[in-house]
Structure formats: C-alpha cells, structure tokens
Copies of this chain bind each other. A is one copy, B any other.
C-alpha cells in the first residue's frame, strides 16, 4: 500500500478523533495520546501535523464550523420565502448531523474554552455572526430592522440554550421538539408583530 499522500487522511482522522474524544469526555481536557490513539497513530504524529494541542483543537473547531457553514449554505439553496430561509437555518442546527451528542458536547466544550482562548473566541464569534446574519436574511423582510435584530438574538440564544440542555440530557431531548420550540418562538413573535400592526 502506498505510504504517500497520507497527510490529508491523517489530519482528517485526527480531527475526527478529537471530536470523538471531546464528545465522549465532554471536555477539551483530553490528552493528545487519547486523540492520537483513537486515530490509530502515535501522539508524535499528531504533533507533527498540527504542531501543538491548541492548534489541533483550533483546527477541529474550524472543521466543525465549516461543516456547519456548508450545511447551512446547502439548506439555504433553493429556499424562496423569508420564512423558509429562517426555517432552513434553524433546522440545520438541529439536523441529524449537527445535533449529535458528540458534536454538541464538542461545541459546548469549545464555548467554555473560548473564555480563555482568544483564538477560539474569534472563531466562535464568526459562527455567531453568521448565524445572526443568516437569521436576519429572513427576518429583515418580516419585521422592522431593530425588532428583527432582537428576535435574531433571542433565537440564537434559544438555540444555544437548547444545545446546552441537550448536552446535559436535561429537559427537551430530541431535535424535533427543539426545532418546534424555536419555530414556535419565532412564530409567536412574528404573529405578535402582525397583530400589533
């Protein structure tokens, strides 16, 4: 078997292993050896490809982020009404691929780590902005700008909260219910807005 061109494979395997390790333990506090072991390589190789633990973690988060972005773009493609756009954005966050114990735990761990790591915080901020603007792209046609902004914030917070609660297996457990809650929130706010016009 050819022993060349392994780099992308190893990188990917290591990132997957990182998600798996973090997801299972629920913390970024996993060892390089554990991660490397899951990827079937030595910890030295992980260092070889990523340089340091921080960098592997950051790369992993970037990976998670780009997957979410890709999914969102795919979901938005073909939507036509503002309401459809909003629904698409929400449902992506709770899709089978994103709303998995493993992934959620990883997101959460990153959220907390972001409190001390500037690099991670920057990445999370990007995600926050994207989510916000994606929601806005629908809401802005249905509500006054200020109100749209507020509602987008609320929806984002609600999504984050549902993630947290899911991770701790408290309350709302399944994706469908979660989506319904967020949609519900927006429906209520939108019809409320209509009514008050």
The residues of A with any CB-CB pair to B shorter than 8 Å are: 25-27, 29, 105, 108-109, 111-116, 121, 124-125, 128, 132, 150, 153-154, 156-162, 164-165, 167-168, 170-172, 181, 184-185, 187-189, 191-192, 195
A187 to B27, CA, bound (A): 37
Q: State the majority secondary structure of interface residues on A.
A: helix
Chain B residue contacts of A165, Cβ below 8 A: 128, 153, 156-157, 160
Chain B residue contacts of A181, Cβ below 8 A: 150, 153-154, 157
Find out whether the CB atom of B111 lies under 8 angstroms from the CB atom of A105.
no
From B113, B125, B159, give the contact of A170 (CB < 8 A). B125
From B29, B153, B156, B160, give the contact of A29 (CB < 8 A). B29
* A159 CB to nearest B CB, Å: 7
A161 to B158, CA, bound (A): 6
Chain B residue contacts of A192, Cβ below 8 A: 187-188, 191-192
Find out whether the CB atom of A167 lies under 8 angstroms from the CB atom of B115.
yes
Chain B residue contacts of A121, Cβ below 8 A: 168
